[in-house]
Amino acid sequence: MTIRRLTTNDLPRLRQFWIDHWGGEEMVTRGNVYRPEQLEGFVVEHGEEWTGLLTFIVKDGECEVTSLDSLREGQGIGSQLIDKAIEEARIHNCRRLFLITTNDNLNALGFYQRRGFELVTLYRGAINESRKVKPGIPLIGYNNIPLRDEIELEILL
Ligand SMILES: CC(C)(COP(=O)(O)OP(=O)(O)OC[C@H]1O[C@@H](n2cnc3c(N)ncnc32)[C@H](O)[C@@H]1OP(=O)(O)O)[C@@H](O)C(=O)NCCC(=O)NCCS
């Protein structure tokens, strides 16, 4: 297993990865639309296969994780990618690392909090707005829970 930084050569594959795993080649959080070419990231590879992917953006002295996926859960891939994002945020002198997850994603809410993230804000109904920009966002999310709200978590650095 190797972990490496994404390069511009990875853009077509990154777009396809997002289409396959997130229903479109854009990520929408809090009304912001992020496209792969705007982002930096790290990929975990097992041979040719991408088994983990984290994208992020640094702006206004903050680092936002814009996507995180592990395709082999429970083997440390997600944790390693979060560690890389923390390291990167520190290198950029960011005051915090933050991310948005959704109300249905109980697994991610647990995962992040066990890694030091704290809940910051609940954006009630925000997914309804995101869905207008990205209709591919399903109505029902993980755990058979209606997908409605965005939840911001952060680690202060
Ligand atoms: C959330 C997500 C990224 C976590 O990734 P992951 O690769 O499973 O994360 P890890 O393997 O590092 O950690 C998961 C658990 O496995 C455990 N684990 C890690 N390595 C292990 C090992 N070698 N043996 C046994 N357990 C292990 C971890 O301790 C962790 O448990 P804990 O949270 O109780 O401490 C992953 O579940 C995912 O991609 N979900 C779908 C997409 C998603 O929801 N993304 C987040 C959107 S905001």
pLDDT tier for residue 135 given thresholds of 50, 70 and 90: confident
Q: What is the pLDDT of residue 136?
A: 83
Nearest of 31, 28, 76, 69 to residue 51 by alpha carbon: 69
Query: In a mutational test of the pocket of ligand 1, which residue from 50, 53, 67, 75 has the highest number of ligand atoms less than 8 Å from its CB?
Result: 75
pLDDT tens track for 40-83: 999 999 999 999 999 999 999 999 999 999 999 999 999 999 99
Centroid of chain to Cα 29: 10
**Is 143 close to ligand 1, i.e. is its CB under 6 Å away?**
no
Ligand 1 atom closest to the Cα of residue 69 is 39
Q: What's the chain's average pLDDT? A: 96
> Cβ neighbours of residue 53 under 8 Å, at least 6 residues apart?
14, 17, 41, 42, 43, 44, 67, 68, 69, 81
pLDDT tens track for 110-125: 999 999 999 999 999 9
